[in-house]
Chain A
Amino acid sequence: MTQFERGQLQRIRLHVLPTKRFKTFAISLFAGLTLEEATVTPVALIPFVLRRGTANTPETIAFREKLDDLYGAGFGFDVYKRGDSQIVQFRMDVINDKFVSSNSSLLSESLQFLGDVLTNPLLENGGFNKKYVEAEKITLKKRLDAIVNDKIRYAAERCLEVMCADEPYRLHPLGRKEDIDAITPAALFEHYEQWLDNAALDLYVVGDTTLEEVTGLVTEAFRLKTGSPSPYSKPNIEHKVQEVKKVTERMEVSQGKLNLGLRIGVGYEDEEYPAALMYNGILGGYPHSKLFLNVREKESLAYYAASRLDGHKGLCTIQSGIEFANYERALAIIEEQLESMRQGKLSELELNQTKAMISNHLRELQDSAYEMIAYDFNSVLTGKQRSAQQLLEQVQAVTAEDIVKVADRVQLDTIYFLRDRKEA
């Protein structure tokens, strides 16, 4: 397996994976800051404004045309939570020059572009461009309003919000709608400068290049202030559940969404993490898992019934879509599965199937540049060095007892149900 080469340029950590396997260069820049009510909204707004134009391409149309000229380079950004951090990720992918008749290096131009976006924004009167800030404030509001449109995601996010009501993790990564109006172009620029000064910055490049080449290109392309890289803060994953929270919400929906939030108290950096992966896999990670078999195949109660592990916050969430009238039955079956995990009702077959699936996933991620980046970034986030190969071996070694130990720590925290308006 090829390894990432590591470097550093002022406040940015560089991670380069030289490989000829892809027809493209994949570039990701992560900027992470501790999730806080005061900064979450302006920080979320920053990338929206940055993508409207730079000092070199002030007009949005010229900005977009530039990307098309780079053979339709992919450019996008995302704002999300990991642990107790709010992360802004910029992504670019551009094809390797050897497949097209290009006169200039597409990697160089792409990094130039990204450097401009991040460190050479369009400014006026000591702040960002007013027109773009006002337009993107509307865009951000619309995005926050739109969360309700996808009922599966809405239910999942509401469940987390209820569950983490007293923690920073309750905050949506896109911020709070009520804080948007007050943001001025000048205030946003101040937040931007503080963000660049304080955020943990990591730049990844995967493709037919070297650390040396990337270091040279980034030096030219990014206007870097002096300084050294910031680490990520350690999230709080310990939590004692006093009482299970039960919330039912009503809306015009055809299908009920039943979501459960569990505290597992195991983080990515912990020794028990491979066992937690197995716990989630056996419970609901796959079509052979307990939730799929019992809620869907045996009882025909749902089309989807699955669980997901969040190793950065030590949570496991369960989601399913059911008839309103089947709430009690579905909940009882889900709770039975949690109980059977605690009692160690784990067959050899379930263990083997789940190990095979997790191992397959860990091997497959080597075939995707972005998946390799995402995997490696876990170690930046947590400080835990563990290659995919090492994790694979640790998963293979997990025993039924290890999984029961995880199950013993699991606490049901929240039961969230989204249902129709009609009162029964």
Chain B
Amino acid sequence: MQTLNYPNVQETLYREVLDNGLEVIVLPKEGFNKTYATFATKYGSVDNRFSVGNEPPVKVPDGIAHFLEHKMFEEPTGDIFAIFASQGASANAFTSFDRTVYLFSATEQINANLETLINFVQNPYFTDANVEKEKGIIEQEINMYRDNADWRVYFGLIDALYHEHPVHIDIAGTVDSIRQIDKETLYRCYETFYHPSNMLLFVVGGVTAEEVFELVRKNQSSKSFKPQGDIKRYFENEPVSVKIPRKVTELPVSLPKCMLGFKEKDANLEGEALLRQEVTTKLMLDALIGSSSKLYQQLYESDLISDSFGHEFNSSTGYAFSVIGGDTPNPDELIKQIRLGVEAVLAAGIEPEAFERSKRKKIGGYLRMLNSPESIAGEFTRYRFRDSNLFDLLYLYESCTLNEVNARLREHFDFEQLAVSIVKQPSA
């Protein structure tokens, strides 16, 4: 067991990689009633072509990682939610681009709940009948998102940005793609990505590290896993250009929703370099167009944006893009004004005061995030799967310079790399 001290945030982490390859991290939080645990696999919606060891590559239907997540909750003995409920734990799961996460939070019977979490995720049970039954439920989930304008404008943007990279595929797939899913394909994906060596267990809250490690070691040594070759993921070459410069979707909305996306030309960073780019870009975007920037105030006062206006940067090895936007009465005017505003800052550079303020804001936000066990577990896992460390962020924010941020500004904003996604009221 490794002890990792982070005195600047007053947190201590304990880490161990078990013989079967499972990585376990424990973060005790003194005074907390609750324990929050996540069991995550580095397997998400983008992993749709892969091979293991020397086996030939396979391509699987869109939405299968998410489908698998749904099906894991069914055991021969019944629904796993019932077991968690009897043990006073609230359980859930989610699938994102690059990972699938199973979780519970509880204040009692922590050991029993931890065992339940590990065991149900390590015990797939798929039958033809239970796979068919799930299709109706997921179809309703897909329909629910179809009606969600915020979701549609966001995923519309990613679809407009990417030609080939599977990040542009809906995480849940489509009604047609999930119809192709059967139990054999589910087992195939399961065997590949749910091997302990591709997974991370994170436990945070009112626990002692040694007790958790003992339980997990014992649990894992009672099961046998065949050693597994390396997982290879295959992606088509992604053209530099955006796929669709302007994508319009019609839905009943009170005001159009408009998002601008800037696609990074080179998205091959990994580990620490990827993390540094994320920190620099987020600082840059906040200073440029965050809620206390001149540009934001100007857009707000011109009635082009409302409180829904925001920005983010989403990056991973293989894709990276920024998103700026929200509700607006006039998408074209908004796009024009953002362009003028960005070009003005590109010429003059970001002001040192704005940079310092954004830096303080980001540091404050980071420390606030550490109050929440859910955020710690979620963010730690997200960074770990990209070979970087959540606890390096404070130092990276503190050490980031104005020069770096200005250089990043000039590198990132290329209007050739812009795609726009708009959701608007159906034309009569």
Chain A interface residues toward B at CB < 8 A: 19-24, 60-61, 64-65, 67-74, 93-95, 99-100, 135, 138-139, 142-143, 145-152, 251-255, 286-288, 292-293, 296-297, 300-304, 321-323, 349, 352-354, 356-357, 359-361, 363-364, 366-369
Considering the chains assembled together, what is the distance between the CA atoms of A70 and B140 in angstroms? Answer: 45
- Which A residue sits closest to B297, measured CB to CB? A61
Interface size classification for chain B:
35 or more
Contacts of B147 in A (CB 8 A): 151, 253-255
Contact call A252/B252, Cβ cutoff below 8 A: yes
Q: Which residues of A contact B108 (CB under 8 A)?
A: 356, 359-360, 363
A residues near B327, Cβ cutoff 8 Å = 142, 146
CA distance A293 to B301 in the complex (A): 50
Tell me whether A300 and B136 are in contact in the complex, defined as CB-CB below 8 angstroms, given that A60-B297, A72-B362, A286-B90 are known contacts.
yes
Question: Is the CB–CB distance between B107 and A360 below 8 Å?
Answer: yes
Q: Which residues of the partner chain A approach B32 to less than 8 Å between Cβ atoms?
A: 21, 367
Return A56 CB to nearest CB of chain B, in Å. Answer: 16
Q: Does B1 contact A (CB under 8 A)?
A: no
Give B358's nearest chain A residue, CB to CB. Answer: A68
Contact residues of B between 235 and 276, Cβ < 8 Å to A: 251-255
B34 partner residues in chain A, CB cutoff 8 A: 363-364, 367
- Taking a contact as CB atoms under 8 Å apart, the answer to whether A23 and B143 are in contact is no
Q: Which of B137, B297, B300, B368 contacts A23 (CB 8 A)?
A: B368
Residues of A within 8 A of B426 (CB): 252
Task: Flag the segment in B77-85, B312-320, B404-412 that touches A.
Answer: B77-85
Please, how many angstroms separate the alpha-carbon atoms of A282 and B310 in the complex? 39
B interface with A by C-beta (< 8 Å) = 8-10, 30-34, 79, 81-82, 85-91, 105-108, 133-138, 140-141, 143-144, 146-150, 205, 251-255, 291-292, 294, 297, 300-301, 303, 306-308, 327, 357-358, 360-365, 367-368, 370-373, 426
CA distance A293 to B81 in the complex (A): 10
Cα-based distance from A135 to B254 in the complex (angstroms): 18
Closest-CB distance, B198 to chain A (whole angstroms) = 27
Contact status of A297 and B79, CB under 8 A, knowing A24-B368, A72-B360, A364-B34: yes
Q: Which residues from chain B contact A67 at a C-beta distance below 8 Å?
A: 292, 361
Cα of A352 to Cα of B88 in the assembled complex, Å: 9
- Among residues of A, the one whose C-beta sits closest to the C-beta of B329 is A142
Cβ-defined contact, B251 with A252, below 8 A: yes
- In the assembled complex, which residues on chain B have CB atoms less than 8 Å from the CB atom of A364? 33-34, 105, 107
> Could you show 18 A-B contacts with beta carbons less than 8 Å apart?
A24-B371, A68-B360, A68-B361, A71-B361, A72-B360, A94-B364, A95-B368, A135-B301, A135-B303, A142-B306, A149-B253, A149-B254, A287-B79, A349-B82, A353-B85, A357-B85, A359-B107, A359-B108
- Contact of A303 (CB < 8 Å), options: B91, B107, B137: B137
